[in-house]
Amino acid sequence: MSEPRAVVAGHGEYASGIISAVQQITGRGDMLIAVSGAGRSAAEIEALIRSTLAERDVRVIFTDLHAGSCSMAARRLMRGIEDAVLVCGANLPTLLDFVMADGLTPQDAATRALERGRGAMMMVGPSAPPAPAGPTGGGTA
């Protein structure tokens, strides 16, 4: 059993689904707490994320879409929590890197995971753009 280190919030079953993938790959899914915006008002989403941060003592929030209600709610509540960090557009490589970042603070782990998640995107096929020079991200620490 690991200590929770972040909230994952988004549309539909995004959070529980991606956390189940993290659990299957790393066994560390319990480091992430799922919040769904489905069926909730903006105020309800904000209250739910706020109470989860307080009760579980976490300061990192991952969301699926920067224009989404969960991201809006997170940005709004962060006004009163100076050490909170929000990463929007989180993908599976982002969360894998985050949960495997032993030895880093959650905030530092989120910073590194953001870069790894960005670098993990790739396209394969005849219309794929040339691969960028240098090492690519996407590993799990």
Partner 1 sequence: MTLVLHRIDDRLIHGQVVVGWGQPLDIGFIVLVDDAIAANEWEAELYRMGVPDEMEVFFHDTASALAELDAYRADERAGILLTGEIGTMQQLVDFGGIRTVNLGGIHHKPGRTQRMRYVFLTEPEADALRAMAAGGVVITAQDVPTARAIPLPDVLSGATL
Given the rule CB under 8 A, which residues bind partner 1?
11, 39-44, 65-69, 71-72, 75-76
- Considering the complex, what minimum distance in angstroms separates the CB of residue 11 from partner 1? 6
The residue among 85, 2, 4, 69 whose CA lies nearest residue 36 is 69
Q: 122, 136 in Cβ contact below 8 A?
A: yes
For partner 1, the closer CB: 79 or 124: 79
Minimum CB–partner distance for residue 84 and partner 1 (Å): 15
DSSP 59-96: -EEEES-TTSHHHHHHHHHGGG-TT-EEEES--HHHHH
Choose between 76 and 118: whose C-beta lies nearer to partner 1.
Answer: 76
Nearer to partner 1, 80 or 134 (CB): 80
